Protein backbone atom coordinates (compact mmCIF):
# COMPACT_ATOMS: atom_id res chain seq x y z
CA UNK A 1 0.00 0.00 0.00
CA UNK A 2 1.26 3.42 -0.89
CA UNK A 3 0.12 6.74 0.48
CA UNK A 4 1.29 10.21 -0.44
CA UNK A 5 1.31 13.34 1.64
CA UNK A 6 1.37 16.89 0.48
CA UNK A 7 3.64 19.49 2.04
CA UNK A 8 1.74 21.79 4.40
CA UNK A 9 1.64 25.55 4.03
CA UNK A 10 3.69 25.80 7.23
CA UNK A 11 6.58 24.20 5.41
CA UNK A 12 6.90 27.19 3.10
CA UNK A 13 7.18 29.46 6.13
CA UNK A 14 9.94 27.48 7.80
CA UNK A 15 13.45 28.83 7.55
CA UNK A 16 16.62 26.79 6.96
CA UNK A 17 17.69 27.58 10.51
CA UNK A 18 14.45 26.16 11.90
CA UNK A 19 14.71 23.05 9.77
CA UNK A 20 18.26 22.44 10.96
CA UNK A 21 16.90 21.66 14.42
CA UNK A 22 14.74 18.92 12.91
CA UNK A 23 17.68 16.85 11.67
CA UNK A 24 19.65 14.37 13.77
CA UNK A 25 23.36 14.03 13.07
CA UNK A 26 24.84 10.50 13.11
CA UNK A 27 26.58 11.18 16.45
CA UNK A 28 23.29 12.26 18.04
CA UNK A 29 21.57 9.15 16.71
CA UNK A 30 24.32 6.88 18.00
CA UNK A 31 24.10 8.50 21.44
CA UNK A 32 20.32 7.97 21.63
CA UNK A 33 20.62 4.33 22.70
CA UNK A 34 18.59 2.89 19.82
CA UNK A 35 17.87 -0.81 20.55
CA UNK A 36 19.54 -3.31 18.24
CA UNK A 37 17.50 -5.57 16.01
CA UNK A 38 18.07 -9.25 16.73
CA UNK A 39 17.89 -10.20 13.07
CA UNK A 40 17.94 -7.08 10.89
CA UNK A 41 18.08 -9.00 7.59
CA UNK A 42 14.89 -10.88 8.50
CA UNK A 43 13.13 -7.62 9.32
CA UNK A 44 14.33 -5.93 6.12
CA UNK A 45 13.44 -8.93 3.93
CA UNK A 46 9.97 -9.17 5.46
CA UNK A 47 9.18 -5.49 4.96
CA UNK A 48 10.64 -5.55 1.45
CA UNK A 49 8.46 -8.53 0.51
CA UNK A 50 5.31 -7.02 2.03
CA UNK A 51 5.62 -3.49 0.67
CA UNK A 52 7.97 -3.76 -2.35
CA UNK A 53 9.37 -0.25 -1.79
CA UNK A 54 10.77 1.82 -4.62
CA UNK A 55 12.90 4.98 -4.22
CA UNK A 56 11.18 7.67 -2.10
CA UNK A 57 9.07 5.04 -0.29
CA UNK A 58 9.08 4.85 3.50
CA UNK A 59 7.96 1.77 5.44
CA UNK A 60 7.13 2.23 9.12
CA UNK A 61 6.83 -0.98 11.15
CA UNK A 62 5.98 -1.80 14.76
CA UNK A 63 7.67 -4.77 16.42
CA UNK A 64 6.75 -6.52 19.66
CA UNK A 65 9.35 -7.24 22.39
CA UNK A 66 10.40 -10.38 20.47
CA UNK A 67 10.99 -8.41 17.25
CA UNK A 68 7.89 -9.91 15.62
CA UNK A 69 6.05 -7.63 13.21
CA UNK A 70 2.74 -6.33 14.58
CA UNK A 71 1.85 -3.66 12.02
CA UNK A 72 3.36 -1.80 9.09
CA UNK A 73 2.46 0.81 6.50
CA UNK A 74 4.17 2.39 3.53
CA UNK A 75 3.85 5.73 1.80
CA UNK A 76 5.68 7.76 -0.81
CA UNK A 77 7.48 10.95 0.11
CA UNK A 78 6.83 13.74 -2.34
CA UNK A 79 9.77 15.98 -3.34
CA UNK A 80 10.26 18.66 -0.68
CA UNK A 81 13.07 19.98 1.51
CA UNK A 82 14.10 17.57 4.25
CA UNK A 83 12.12 18.66 7.32
CA UNK A 84 11.84 16.32 10.29
CA UNK A 85 8.62 17.97 11.47
CA UNK A 86 6.78 17.15 8.25
CA UNK A 87 8.18 13.63 8.18
CA UNK A 88 7.19 13.17 11.83
CA UNK A 89 3.61 14.08 11.01
CA UNK A 90 3.51 11.65 8.09
CA UNK A 91 4.91 8.80 10.21
CA UNK A 92 2.56 9.57 13.07
CA UNK A 93 -0.45 9.53 10.74
CA UNK A 94 0.52 6.06 9.51
CA UNK A 95 1.10 4.74 13.04
CA UNK A 96 -2.29 6.01 14.17
CA UNK A 97 -3.89 4.28 11.21
CA UNK A 98 -2.42 0.82 11.76
CA UNK A 99 -1.94 0.37 15.53
CA UNK A 100 -3.27 1.85 18.81
CA UNK A 101 -0.94 4.04 20.83
CA UNK A 102 0.84 2.89 24.01
CA UNK A 103 0.77 6.22 25.81
CA UNK A 104 -0.83 4.71 28.93
CA UNK A 105 2.21 2.52 29.57
CA UNK A 106 4.93 3.79 31.86
CA UNK A 107 7.60 2.19 29.70
CA UNK A 108 7.24 1.48 25.95
CA UNK A 109 7.20 -2.22 25.10
CA UNK A 110 6.81 -2.02 21.32
CA UNK A 111 9.39 -0.59 18.96
CA UNK A 112 8.97 1.29 15.69
CA UNK A 113 11.54 0.88 12.94
CA UNK A 114 11.74 2.78 9.68
CA UNK A 115 12.91 1.47 6.32
CA UNK A 116 13.47 4.18 3.71
CA UNK A 117 14.16 3.30 0.08
CA UNK A 118 16.07 6.01 -1.74
CA UNK A 119 18.57 6.74 -4.48
CA UNK A 120 22.27 7.21 -3.76
CA UNK A 121 24.54 5.15 -1.53
CA UNK A 122 24.25 4.15 2.11
CA UNK A 123 26.13 7.14 3.51
CA UNK A 124 24.20 9.46 5.82
CA UNK A 125 22.43 12.41 4.19
CA UNK A 126 20.52 15.37 5.59
CA UNK A 127 17.34 13.64 4.46
CA UNK A 128 18.27 10.64 6.60
CA UNK A 129 18.77 13.00 9.53
CA UNK A 130 15.29 14.43 9.02
CA UNK A 131 13.79 10.91 8.96
CA UNK A 132 15.66 10.08 12.18
CA UNK A 133 14.29 13.19 13.87
CA UNK A 134 10.80 12.41 12.62
CA UNK A 135 10.95 8.77 13.72
CA UNK A 136 12.16 9.63 17.21
CA UNK A 137 9.46 12.27 17.70
CA UNK A 138 6.67 10.13 16.24
CA UNK A 139 7.61 7.28 18.59
CA UNK A 140 7.45 9.61 21.61
CA UNK A 141 4.00 10.86 20.60
CA UNK A 142 2.69 7.32 20.01
CA UNK A 143 4.16 5.73 23.12
CA UNK A 144 6.69 3.54 21.28
CA UNK A 145 10.41 2.93 21.58
CA UNK A 146 12.41 4.49 18.78
CA UNK A 147 14.04 1.69 16.83
CA UNK A 148 16.39 1.31 13.90
CA UNK A 149 16.51 3.53 10.83
CA UNK A 150 17.35 1.48 7.75
CA UNK A 151 18.16 2.71 4.27
CA UNK A 152 17.49 0.61 1.18
CA UNK A 153 19.40 1.58 -1.96
CA UNK A 154 20.49 -0.13 -5.15
CA UNK A 155 23.65 -1.20 -3.29
CA UNK A 156 21.68 -2.99 -0.57
CA UNK A 157 20.41 -2.20 2.92
CA UNK A 158 22.16 -0.53 5.84
CA UNK A 159 21.18 0.03 9.47
CA UNK A 160 22.43 3.58 9.99
CA UNK A 161 24.51 4.06 13.09
CA UNK A 162 25.50 0.38 13.07
CA UNK A 163 27.95 -1.67 11.11
CA UNK A 164 25.26 -4.01 9.81
CA UNK A 165 23.96 -4.27 6.28
CA UNK A 166 23.75 -6.49 3.23
CA UNK A 167 23.47 -6.53 -0.55
CA UNK A 168 20.06 -8.19 -0.66
CA UNK A 169 17.35 -7.17 -0.65
CA UNK A 170 18.05 -3.92 -2.46
CA UNK A 171 16.04 -1.28 -4.29
CA UNK A 172 16.16 -3.30 -7.53
CA UNK A 173 15.82 -6.86 -6.24
CA UNK A 174 12.68 -8.98 -6.44
CA UNK A 175 10.94 -9.68 -3.11
CA UNK A 176 12.11 -12.79 -1.33
CA UNK A 177 9.67 -15.32 0.17
CA UNK A 178 8.72 -14.45 3.72
CA UNK A 179 6.63 -15.79 6.57
CA UNK A 180 8.12 -19.28 6.67
CA UNK A 181 9.19 -18.72 10.27
CA UNK A 182 5.56 -18.08 11.19
CA UNK A 183 4.32 -21.39 9.82
CA UNK A 184 3.63 -24.18 12.35
CA UNK A 185 6.24 -26.94 12.47
CA UNK A 186 5.43 -30.13 10.56
CA UNK A 187 3.82 -32.91 12.64
CA UNK A 188 6.28 -35.49 14.00
CA UNK A 189 6.46 -38.75 12.11
CA UNK A 190 6.94 -40.99 15.12
CA UNK A 191 5.31 -41.28 18.51
CA UNK A 192 6.89 -41.44 21.95
CA UNK A 193 8.48 -38.87 24.23
CA UNK A 194 10.17 -36.94 21.41
CA UNK A 195 6.80 -36.52 19.74
CA UNK A 196 5.27 -35.14 22.93
CA UNK A 197 8.08 -32.61 23.33
CA UNK A 198 7.59 -31.38 19.76
CA UNK A 199 3.82 -31.16 20.26
CA UNK A 200 4.24 -29.02 23.38
CA UNK A 201 6.78 -26.74 21.66
CA UNK A 202 4.42 -26.23 18.73
CA UNK A 203 1.57 -25.32 21.08
CA UNK A 204 3.51 -22.45 22.72
pLDDT digits (tens, 9 = 90+) for 174-195: 887 654 334 333 343 344 444 3
Strand partners, 59: 74, 115
Looking at residue 82, what is its pLDDT? Answer: 84
Cβ partners under 8 Å of residue 202, min gap 6: 184, 185
Residues 158-174 have a mean pLDDT of: 92
pLDDT at 196 over 70: no
Looking at residue 178, what is its pLDDT? Answer: 53
Phi and psi at 75, nearest 5°, equal: -155, 160
- Cα distance from N-terminal residue to C-terminal residue, the chain: 32
β-pairing verdict for 57-63 and 164-166: unpaired
pLDDT at 30 over 50: yes
Please give the residue that has the higher pLDDT: either 165 or 7.
Answer: 165
- The region of weakest confidence among 9-13, 28-32, 157-161 is 9-13
Looking at residue 106, what is its pLDDT? Answer: 87
What angle, 0 to 180 degrees and rounded to 10, lies between the N-to-C axes of helices 84-98 and 126-142? 40
Looking at residue 77, what is its pLDDT? Answer: 87
Looking at residue 162, what is its pLDDT? Answer: 86
Looking at residue 161, what is its pLDDT? Answer: 86
pLDDT at 128 over 90: yes
pLDDT tens per residue, range 43-96: 999 999 999 999 999 999 999 999 999 999 999 988 888 899 999 999 999 999
Predicted structure pTM score: 0.77
Judged by phi (left if over 0) then psi (alpha if -120 to 50, else beta), residue 182 lies in alpha
Nearest by Cα to 119 from 110, 128, 108, 106:
128
Using CA atoms, how far apart are residues 133 and 114, in angstroms rounded to an integer?
Answer: 12
For the chain, percent of residues with pLDDT exceeding 90: 64
Looking at residue 108, what is its pLDDT? Answer: 93
Amino acid sequence: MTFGFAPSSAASLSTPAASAHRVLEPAEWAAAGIPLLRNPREVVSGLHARHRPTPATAVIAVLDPDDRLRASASFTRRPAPADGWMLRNALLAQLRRVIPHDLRRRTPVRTAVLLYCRDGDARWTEEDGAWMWGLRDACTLHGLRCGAYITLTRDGWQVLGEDRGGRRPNADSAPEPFGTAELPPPPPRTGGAASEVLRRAAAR
